[in-house]
Amino acid sequence: MTDPRLRGLLLALEPGQTLWLSAAGQSLWPLVLDGDSLKVERCDETGVAAGDVAVIDAARSLVAHIVVQVGPVVTASSVGVRDALAPVVGRVVAVRRAGRTVSLPRSARHAVRLVPGLALVLKRSTVLRAVVRRLR
């Protein structure tokens, strides 16, 4: 999510307001795919908890990653690669793919926060890595 105009629109929103943004990249595969639309609710670090998908303002581009720690907020990709500390500017509350919208309720946090750890297990197993490659 690197379009500077959309970044500016998101940053101009009041807390609690939402904006749909287009996802780019594979860092949250299989939760979010390249081209998915993300409904982002404007908030700061006080509006996210471990397991949320936060949007951070990283080096003048927006990045959506999983919150793995709070106080300070630390985010990571679905394979556990942690981001440099950056301000939280929003929280993903829904994902739209192929015309279907799936909300990400707060109750999903517990499952989402397991994703980076499970990915590390997958990375260590050559058989499971091969299965994931075929799925992609």
Q: Which of 27, 11, 18 is nearest to 66 (CA)?
A: 27
Is 4-135 assigned to CATH 2.60.40.10?
no
Q: Locate 2 and state its tokens.
A: 């690197």
What's the confidence (pLDDT) of residue 103? Answer: 93
Structure pTM? Answer: 0.84
**Alpha-carbon distance 126 to 105, whole Å?**
33
pLDDT tens across 7-26, in order?
A: 889 999 999 999 999 999 88
Residue pair 42/90 in contact by the 8 Å Cβ criterion: yes
Angle at 123 between CA 56 and CA 23, to 5 degrees: 30
pLDDT tens across 56-112, in order?
A: 998 778 999 999 999 999 999 988 889 999 999 999 999 999 999 999 888 888 788
Q: Where are the domains of the chain?
A: 4-135
